[in-house]
Each structure stands twice: as structure tokens, then as C-alpha cells.
Amino acid sequence: MVAMEPPTIVIDTNVLFEGLTKKGGAAGLLIDAWVAELLDVYVSNALAYEYVDVLSRKCSQSRWEELKPVLGSLLSKAQFVPVYFSWRPSSPDPGDEHVIDCAMNAGAIVITSNLKDFHMAKRSLGLSVMTALDLVKLLVE
């Protein structure tokens, strides 16, 4: 059996939120794989700030207090990538530009549950995009 290199990925905020707030599912498995360092997860400063912003706004105060150390642990296992180049606009959702910039600068695959907002970047930039479930299937094979 040949050992597979861990995939280089950028996790969209919607996948992170789902993985941290819902039991089970592909997003939760990816978070577990991130904790176990089975994935090379890349983040930029802007994306890390977006993670904090979304989790702190969408979770109750007590739930956010529980998730802060978990997010800190995840970010400590991530590779921070400086964003030297930006390819804007590349998405109809301006919030996804951080994800695209991070992935393009890291040469990484975007993991998202919202494929349609990355269609333009996929077509024009050659950005690799897949769902959490697609990545879990790839890891299992």
C-alpha cells in the first residue's frame, strides 16, 4: 500500500461552522482529520478572522466560549499562507474572496458546501473545489 500525501486544502467557513456545530457528517469528519493532522489545512489571516467573526456571531455566547479554544487548537495546526496576490472579483459572494485568495496562494483545494459561488474561480483560475463529502470519499479510497 502506498501512503498518500495529505491533501492541501482550504476549508470554507460554512464547512468549519457545520463541522464544529453539528454532530456527525462529512464536515465533522474533516474537522476530526484536521485535529489528527491528517490534512494540510491552509489559512490566511483574513480567513482566520472570518472564522472568528462568523462563529462569534452565529453561536450563542456560551457556545462561542466553548468553541474558542477548539478553533485556537485548529488554527495552531494550520499552515498560515501570506496572500501576495488577489484575484478579485472571482465570486458572486464577496465573503468567498478570502477563501479564493488563500487557496490560490497556497495551491490548495477549496472545501465548501457552496460550489456555485466558486464556479467562476474554478473556470477562470483553475481553482480546485470540492465538497466535504467528496474529500472524505477521496480520503477513504
Question: What pLDDT score does 95 carry?
Answer: 77
pTM score > 0.75 for this model?
yes
* Residue 12 binned pLDDT confidence (cut-offs 50, 70, 90): very high
- Using 50, 70 and 90 to split pLDDT, how confident is the model at 6? confident
Give CA–CA dist 70/67, Å, rounded. Answer: 5
Q: Read off the pLDDT of residues 86-112 as tens digits, 9 standing for 90 and up.
A: 766 666 676 788 899 999 999 999 999
For residues 83-100, b (16+ Cβ closer than 10 Å) or e, as one string? eeeebeebbeeeebbbbb
> Which domains can be identified in the chain, with CATH numbers?
8-140 (3.40.50.1010)
Cβ–Cβ under 8 Å, residues 41 and 13? no
Amino acid at position 136, single letter: V
Residue 1 pLDDT class (50, 70, 90 cuts): very low
Q: How far apart are CA 135 and CA 131, in angstroms?
A: 6
Q: pLDDT tens digits, residue range 32-77? A: 999 999 999 999 999 999 999 999 999 999 999 999 999 999 999 9
User: Which residues lie below 8 Å from residue 15, measured CB to CB, with a gap of 6+?
Assistant: 27, 30, 111, 112, 113, 132
Closest CA to 51 of 31, 71, 65, 32: 71
Q: Which residue's C-alpha cell is 470540492?
A: 130
d(CA 83, CA 106): 9
